[in-house]
């Protein structure tokens, strides 16, 4: 492990920071956008009661709504990214809070729109679309709104709910501030006998250390802190799930899962089939754990041993510049335009905030507004795995890039169900590129092991998270409460089932659930697993196909939210309403495990 010194934000060179000034060179314009959007929402209220009196009225409302939300989104995204640069920065926190408060007010002001629209006969709305060609741009948006007709409340009730939105996000906001700004894990002695501050950003480096004592100390230091706050975090999560449950009941859904999936016409069977398919294939995961135990020469395999590479060849460190070069070469099958655009964004246009600094939000993401660059937050540490993170987030960003230059604002976003496909196609192309160019047997072993671990982390672990989420929500929906003890026990049981008998039980792993921020977005994580499965199918289609297969995928990248996710993925050649993509991915995993077994 290299020496790790955490810098303050001011010590990071400008060339290594994302160029947010491109959004607002003068922050008075940020204030103006928030103010303009809020005033537009006041104007929008004047349309109440007349939305569906004519095609012209409907078009006026939709255009005003689109323009207003476009400005509000741009202002919010800017303040959120400024906040994520340093969660302890008071000015950025105040700006972000102001954006959230303004969005809540706007949401309250426009809350009558959907209920009033749904009071109209669907045939009338379709007639307006035929009558006024300009309305055709909004036809899918209107269709998807009509889909929610049984679940929308009266305009007064919707306004009350909208006014409560800001406080409803409290568990998530509190957890984020606690996890990224307040929580510290102390120092851990690395293999060079140097005391290093343990952070979210460098935790995985400790877990990959060849020194088992270093891994153990980092693992226990991390979870010891979460154990200290176990009761408080369980209360945060309990109320987050309670809110999900209350909202799904108010809107007359069968469950929170139903409410999260039905809006995009994703069958409930997709969720259950994912869990069932993974359970049936757990023997391959258990076999991998046994291989890992044998390869590492351990009498007992512990949870802090499952991230250390089985073999660690030379040449695993790389600079950010090297990472960009590798990514661009790996993505060559996607064509010159894709690669040229991405390289320019990652370098000249400064889409990326590259390195970790004190107070910076942990992990990585792709973000941006319809009118901004598709920015990327990284905590780059100079390891090969950072190339995978960069190419993953680049997939999201290029998805946004192609969508925003093709689709209008109302379709400029992405369902998580489709978004995770774009990122994982990139990762899959990268691993194939690296395997083709491996210069030694040890490097090939390392890469196959790495590929298996990607399956472990994304398909198996995220499905385990999805099952935990389902247990938590069903418990609350059946009148139960999520106590710390209950959450710990349920998570511990799942961890034992998924990783199998080769792993020795560890008391600290029961607290792992408490550090997962995605749990504060109901039924979010399963889409990583489904997306990973779809992406493997698409990447294989691109690599074994030709120009037509590549163009199918690029066409998919430009669709945004212009149709339901299952239908959009069919454009890229994958039908996620069937089990085939998940089963195919699990088959690939099993083959990789067998290949690694033979090589070891």
Cβ proximity of 279 and 272 under 8 Å:
no
The domain spans of the chain are 9-168, 184-228, 234-311+417-600
CA angle 163, 166, 170 (to 5 degrees): 140
DSSP-derived 3-state class of residue 542: helix
Is the pLDDT reported for residue 555 higher than 90?
yes
Q: Residues of 565-597 as b/e, b for ≥16 C-beta within 10 angstroms? A: bbebbebbbbebbebebbebbbebbbebbeebe
Greatest CA separation for the chain: 76
Distance CA 485, CA 499 (A): 21
**Distance between CA atoms of residues 521 and 168, nearest Å:** 12
Dump pLDDT digits (tens) for 179-237. Answer: 988 999 999 999 999 999 999 888 988 999 999 999 999 999 999 999 999 999 999 99
Q: pLDDT tens for residues 529-539?
A: 999 999 999 99
Residue 393 to residues 285, 327, 337, 396, 417, Cα–Cα distance (Å): 27, 11, 18, 5, 15
Q: What is the pLDDT of residues 328-363, one digit of tens each?
A: 999 999 999 999 999 999 999 999 999 999 999 988
Q: Is the pLDDT of residue 574 over 70?
A: yes
Mind listing the pLDDT tens digit for each residue in 559-571? 999 999 999 999 9
**Among 386, 465, 395, which residue's Cα sits nearest to residue 424?**
395
- Distance (Å, rounded) from C-alpha 232 to C-alpha 175? 10
pLDDT score, position 3: 39
Residue entry with tokens 């069919």? 570
How large is the average pLDDT for residues 147-163? 82
Over residues 80-105, the mean pLDDT reads 95
Q: Which band of pLDDT confidence, cut at 50, 70 and 90, is reported for residue 117?
A: very high
**What phi and psi, each to the nearest 5 degrees, are found at residue 326?**
-60, -45
Q: For 295-341, what is each residue's pLDDT tens digit? A: 999 999 999 999 999 988 887 889 999 999 999 999 999 999 999 99
User: For domain 9-168, which architecture applies?
Assistant: Up-down Bundle (1.20)
Question: Is the dihedral angle over the CA atoms 582, 583, 588, 592 positive or is it negative?
Answer: positive
pLDDT, tens digit (0-9, with 9 covering 90-100), for 415-455 = 888 998 999 999 999 999 999 999 899 999 999 999 999 99
The alpha-helical segments, DSSP class H, found in 86-121 are 90-109, 113-119
Q: Domain 184-228 in CATH: superfamily? A: putative peptidase helix hairpin domain like (1.10.287.830)
- pTM of the complete model: 0.82
Give the pairing of strands 375-377 and 365-367. Answer: antiparallel
- Catalytic residues, by residue number, are 393
pLDDT(136) > 50: yes
Tokens 């809020």 identify what position? Answer: 38
Q: Which residues pair with 376 in a beta bridge?
A: 352, 366
Q: Look at residue 313 in the predicted model and tell me its pLDDT.
A: 86
pLDDT mean across residues, the chain: 94
Mean pLDDT of 375-399: 95
Confidence at residue 408, expressed as pLDDT on a 0 to 100 scale: 97
pLDDT at 2: 45
Name the CATH superfamily for 234-311+417-600.
Oligoendopeptidase f, C-terminal domain (1.10.1370.20)
Three-class SS state of 367: strand
User: What confidence tens digit (pLDDT) does each residue in 56-69 have?
Assistant: 999 999 999 999 99
Closest CA to 594 of 452, 433, 457, 463: 452
Does the pLDDT at position 1 exceed 60? no
DSSP 264-322: TT--HHHHHHHHHHHHHTHHHHHHHHHHHHHHTT-SSB-GGGSSS-SS--S--B--HHH
């Amino acid at each position: 492990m290299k020496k790790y010194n955490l810098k303050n934000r001011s010590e990071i060179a400008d060339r290594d920071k994302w160029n947010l000034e491109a959004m607002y060179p003068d922050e008075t314009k940020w204030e103006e956008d928030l103010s303009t959007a809020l005033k537009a929402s006041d104007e929008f209220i004047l349309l109440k009661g007349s939305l569906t009196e004519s095609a012209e009225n409907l078009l006026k409302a939709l255009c005003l709504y689109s323009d207003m939300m476009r400005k509000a989104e741009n202002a919010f995204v800017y303040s959120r990214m400024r906040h994520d640069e340093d969660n302890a920065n008071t000015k950025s926190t105040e700006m972000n809070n102001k954006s959230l408060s303004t969005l809540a007010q706007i949401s309250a002001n426009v809350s009558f729109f959907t209920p009033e629209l749904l009071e109209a006969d669907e045939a009338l709305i379709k007639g307006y679309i035929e009558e006024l060609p300009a309305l055709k741009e909004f036809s899918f948006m209107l269709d998807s709104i009509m889909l929610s007709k049984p679940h929308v409340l009266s305009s007064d009730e919707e306004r009350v709910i909208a006014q409560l939105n800001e406080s409803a996000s409290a568990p998530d906001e509190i957890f984020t501030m606690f996890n990224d700004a307040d929580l510290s894990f102390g120092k851990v002695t690395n293999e060079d006998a140097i005391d290093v501050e343990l952070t979210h950003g460098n935790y995985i480096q400790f877990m990959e250390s060849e020194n088992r004592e270093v891994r153990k100390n980092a693992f226990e230091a991390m979870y010891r802190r979460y154990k200290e706050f176990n009761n408080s975090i369980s209360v945060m999560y309990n109320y987050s799930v309670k809110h999900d449950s209350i909202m799904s009941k108010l809107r007359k859904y069968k469950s929170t899962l139903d409410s999260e999936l039905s809006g995009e016409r994703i069958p409930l069977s997709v969720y259950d089939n994912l869990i069932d398919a993974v359970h049936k294939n757990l023997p391959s995961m258990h076999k991998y754990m046994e291989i890992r135990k044998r390869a590492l020469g351990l009498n007992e395999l512990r949870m802090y041993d499952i991230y250390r590479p089985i073999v660690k060849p030379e040449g695993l460190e790389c600079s950010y510049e090297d990472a960009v070069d590798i990514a661009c070469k790996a993505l060559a099958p996607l064509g010159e335009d894709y690669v040229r655009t991405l390289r320019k964004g990652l370098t000249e246009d400064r889409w990326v905030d590259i390195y970790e600094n004190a107070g910076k939000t942990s992990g990585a993401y792709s973000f941006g507004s319809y009118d901004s660059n598709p920015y990327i937050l990284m905590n780059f540490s100079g390891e090969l795995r950072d190339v995978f993170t960069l190419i993953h987030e680049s997939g999201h960003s290029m998805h946004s890039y192609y969508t925003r230059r093709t689709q209008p604002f109302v379709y400029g976003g992405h369902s998580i169900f489709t978004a995770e496909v774009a990122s994982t196609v990139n990762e899959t192309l990268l691993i194939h590129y690296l395997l083709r160019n491996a210069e030694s047997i040890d490097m090939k072993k390392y890469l196959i092991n790495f590929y298996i671990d990607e399956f472990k982390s994304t398909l198996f672990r995220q499905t385990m998270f999805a099952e935990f989420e389902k247990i938590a929500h069903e418990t609350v929906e059946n009148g139960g409460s999520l106590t710390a003890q209950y959450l710990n026990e349920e998570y511990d049981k799942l961890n034992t089932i998924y990783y199998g008998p080769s792993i020795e039980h560890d008391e600290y792993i029961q607290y792992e659930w408490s550090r997962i921020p995605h749990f504060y977005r109901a039924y979010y994580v399963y889409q990583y697993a489904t997306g990973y499965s779809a992406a493997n199918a698409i990447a294989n289609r691109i690599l074994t196909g030709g120009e037509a297969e590549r163009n199918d995928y690029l066409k998919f990248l430009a669709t945004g939210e212009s149709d339901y996710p299952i239908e959009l993925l069919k454009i890229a050649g994958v039908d996620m309403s069937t089990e085939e993509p998940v089963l195919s991915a699990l088959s690939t995993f099993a083959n990789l495990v067998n290949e690694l077994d033979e090589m070891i």
